[in-house]
Structure 1
Amino acid sequence: MRKYELPALSQLHTFEAVSRRLSFTSAADELCLTQSAVSRQIISLETALGWKLFTRKHRAIELTPEGRQLYDAVTRGLDEIGRCVSELRAAVEMPQITVAASVAFSYYWLMPRLERFSERRPEIDLRVLATDQKVDLTRQDADVAVLYGDGNWDGVVVRRLFAERVYPVCSPGYLASHPELQRPRDLLDQTLLHLDGGGNIWGDVNWQVWLARQGVTGQPVRRGIRLNSYPMVLQAAEAGRGVALGWSYITDEMLETNRLVCPFQFPLETRFSYYVGASVDKAAHPMIADFIQWILEECG
């Protein structure tokens, strides 16, 4: 006699997908099955159990009280199985951390420092996810992320890295050939380099905002250059194509090495900052906690 008198696991898996989506069609798409195959599995499950799991309505379905009770139990069971499988995989596979950050942060700040982390934790396989779109750590898009905002994200533990400070930058050659560039208003007669469509990681700071905060009104006289990648914006600035906005955590070091110069000291400091964070579930993991501590030390 079997210890557990249970329906087939495949039927319970299908039932969970239909119950969660309340749609045979959506569940079929998720499971890579036909709608008729999903329907047959549900009918077979209902027959085996002896009660209805769904109330069929015109173009809609609802869980019956028995269906709701079974759904809650199946969800708990599958969640527990999923956690166990993940833990077992982690135990036998090479430890890996997926770090999400903006393209610019990844390229200019993170990549030059990764060798130091590899020396610190050579057993960890680090995967960098460079994206200028928002990352949802609670949905496990990544293990760790560099986030921009006010420091409040539900279900995420964060540590502050640095404030947002933005100022104009250009190449030394560009500044030498434009001696008239001495104050913010003079930028209206310069070629401005714009980050256009660079994602939502950058907040609201652009040339229009920066100039307005300096009390500059009016429109630029010259046509600007629009680029959809911040590394491209800085490359254009280094090549003497115009004046860009520099985010201090990237461009401070470029000023120190004279790759770029700041024509005048009028930084814009916003109320937002950059943070490193992980979900509540992952923040306490020793491997992830050590990576976060390493980033904090690098910022220090």
Structure 2
Amino acid sequence: MSQLHSFEAVARRMSFTAAADELCLTQSAVSRQIRALEEDLGRALFLRKHRAIELTQEGRDLFEAVTRGLDEIALAVNGLRRASDTPQITVATSVAFSYYCLMPRLERFADRYPEIDLRILATDQLVDLGKDDADVAVLFGDGNWPGVEARRLFGERVYPVCSAGYLQNHPELRRPSDLLDQTLLHLDGGGTIWGAVDWHAWLVQQGVTGQPVRRGIRLNSYPMVLQGAEAGRGVALGWSYITDAMLASGQLVCLFDTPLVTSCSYYIGASSARAADPAVAAFLQWMVEECDGME
């Protein structure tokens, strides 16, 4: 093998001197290895000229074979190294989903799959799963994304929420139209990446067409919106997959049992190519199981 390794270096560099430098050997040592290889094969591999060398036909045949062999060995070694590496996947979600829905569950994923290294990318910008932005993403829509394997998690249900103290201080809040005279907390920024439900859409769905009397409070982060609601600063729209648990714990109360239910849903997805990866497939299945029963 050492003779073949030296032969490959000389044939590739077309120089005994350059090959010796690459292999950290003396030129004479490389020459002896090549001579021993030629004697063993009974064939000349190089035409030695005054200031240059050339491969013989036998030398070219052997060089092609050795190159293919070394390439295959390198591929096999790299594959074994990758297999021994800790699998890592990047999961892209909205800021709200990562904060309220994903983070509280990650310990269970780590207990079940301690060998998988998760990287969470919290962003309210669109993520292209066809590129290297992320391996997995939480998506919102009808479930049809070309080239993406998507699994439904739950639907979209939106209703107004506030703190118990705020409701106690505003006993006049009895009908959806009464919200026009309340401080409404708005989510600004992020476009309609997760849907188009805002206060205007919810009020229209309830048959309320008037304009709010008071100035609302606009925030560019949904966790801040819910913190404002918990602090009694106003009324917010609650997405059920986040706020159902906050209602159960008493952090917030639901004002009206008339949610807006859209035709779209939340999905967990990965590109068709990445979905076949064992680590990605495990995360997709785990997320479906975690969200089972949520609507």
Q: Does the alignment reach a TM-score above 0.5?
A: yes
Q: Give the aligned residue type for 2:205.
A: R
Q: Counterparts in 2 of 1:206-225, with a 5 A limit?
A: 206-225=198-217
Take 1:171 and 1:90, find their aligned partners in 2: how far apart are those partners?
51
Asked whether 1:277 is paired with 2:269, we answer yes
Asked whether 1:115 is paired with 2:107, we answer yes
Take 2:198 and 2:87, find their aligned partners in 1: how far apart are those partners?
40
The match for 1:131 is 123
Take 2:246 and 2:81, find their aligned partners in 1: how far apart are those partners?
42
Cα offset, 1:190, TM superposition: 0.4
Take 2:231 and 2:76, find their aligned partners in 1: how far apart are those partners?
53
Residue 180 to residue 119, structure 1, CA distance change in 2 (3 Å): same
Query: Residues 179-220 of structure 1: CA distance to partner in whole angstroms, max 9, x if unpaired?
Result: 111111010000000001134422211001110111101110
The match for 2:88 is 96
Once superposed, which parts of structure 1, at least 4 consecutive aligned residues long, lie more than 6 Å away?
83-86
Query: Residues 222-275 of structure 1: CA distance to partner in whole angstroms, max 9, x if unpaired?
Result: 100000000000000000000000011000100000100001111001111000
The match for 1:259 is 251
Cα offset, 1:141, TM superposition: 1.2
Take 2:81 and 2:239, find their aligned partners in 1: how far apart are those partners?
40
Take 1:215 and 1:84, find their aligned partners in 2: how far apart are those partners?
66
Give 3-state SS (helix, strand or coil) of 1:234's partner. Answer: helix
Contact 1:132 1:200 in 2 (8 A): no
Query: Residues 262-299 of structure 1: CA distance to partner in whole angstroms, max 9, x if unpaired?
Result: 01111001111000001000112221111111111111
Cα offset, 1:87, TM superposition: 5.5
Take 1:274 and 1:259, find their aligned partners in 2: how far apart are those partners?
24
Asked whether 1:247 is paired with 2:256, we answer no
The match for 2:196 is 204
Q: Give the aligned residue type for 1:140.
A: D
- Of 169, 178, 182 in structure 2, the residue corresponding to residue 186 of structure 1 is 178
Query: Residues 1-41 of structure 1: CA distance to partner in whole angstroms, max 9, x if unpaired?
Result: 989x99xxxxxxxxxxxxxxxxxxxxxxxxxxxxxxxxxxx
Alpha carbon RMSD of aligned pairs, Å? 2.1
Contact 1:101 1:146 in 2 (8 A): yes
Give 3-state SS (helix, strand or coil) of 2:251's partner. Answer: coil
Query: Residues 119-171 of structure 1: CA distance to partner in whole angstroms, max 9, x if unpaired?
Result: 00111111000001111111131111110111111100000000011000001
Give 3-state SS (helix, strand or coil) of 2:210's partner. Answer: coil
Give 3-state SS (helix, strand or coil) of 1:138's partner. Answer: coil
Structure 1 spans left out of the alignment, 5+ residues: 7-82
Residue 90 to residue 237, structure 1, CA distance change in 2 (3 Å): farther
Q: Give the aligned residue type for 1:293.
A: Q
Asked whether 1:149 is paired with 2:141, we answer yes
Take 1:256 and 1:222, find their aligned partners in 2: how far apart are those partners?
30
Q: Give the aligned residue type for 2:148.
A: V
Q: Give the aligned residue type for 2:100.
A: Y
Take 2:78 and 2:218, find their aligned partners in 1: how far apart are those partners?
44
Q: Give the aligned residue type for 2:91.
A: V
Take 1:225 and 1:87, find their aligned partners in 2: how far apart are those partners?
54
How many residue pairs get matched?
223
Take 2:77 and 2:185, find their aligned partners in 1: how far apart are those partners?
50
Asked whether 1:158 is paired with 2:171, we answer no
Residue 286 to residue 177, structure 1, CA distance change in 2 (3 Å): same
- Of 278, 282, 292 in structure 2, the residue corresponding to residue 286 of structure 1 is 278
Cα offset, 1:85, TM superposition: 10
Query: Residues 67-109 of structure 1: CA distance to partner in whole angstroms, max 9, x if unpaired?
Result: xxxxxxxxxxxxxxxx999956632432111111000000001
Instruction: Give the TM-score normalised by the residue count of structure 1.
Output: 0.70
